[in-house]
Amino acid sequence: MKIDGLGVPQQPDNKAKRAKAAEKSEKAIENQKPTSDSIELSKTKKPGTESGYTREIQKGAQTEKNAKRDLTEVKNKTTNGYYDKPEARAKTSEKLIDSEDLKEVVDRYHISNYSKEILANTPEVRHEKVAEAKQKISEGFYNNSENFGAFADKIIKHFGI
């Protein structure tokens, strides 16, 4: 394919140079051997050649079957009184303690209790003081070096620094 009329901006149009370059390009294209790509398609599936997507669907279906089987087994054991035995309770407790799922639940429980403890020990917000501070900030009260210094001293004293 040849495209005429394109050139570097702000340079004089040199038709001779362009023609020579186009000729070189055409010769290079003529000297190349034609190549082709091919894909083999067949109507029959070769064993072990299923796509990744198909494998994931099969794996998901197998996991769902296993989960249903396990749930049925647990229901049967529960109705038959299997979990009423001390040995079964001990095994179940050990598995629960070792499971990552239970660790996540316990971590969430501890975080929740810790948050409740912090909230219980936090003093009430004095809204009038907050409003007063906002007003002073909007009026530029703390931009004054004397006021800012006094404010900084109060903070240092409050936190014991």
The model's pLDDT over 133-143, given as tens digits with 9 standing for 90+, comes to 899 889 888 78
The answer to whether residue 36 scores a pLDDT higher than 70 is: no
The model's pLDDT over 3-29, given as tens digits with 9 standing for 90+, comes to 555 555 555 556 666 667 667 666 665
- The least confident of 19-23, 99-103, 124-128 is 19-23
| Whether the Cβ atoms of residue 140 and residue 134 lie closer than 8 Å to each other | no
Backbone angles phi, psi at 95, to 5 degrees: -65, -40
Sign of the torsion angle spanned by Cα atoms 9, 15, 20, 23: positive
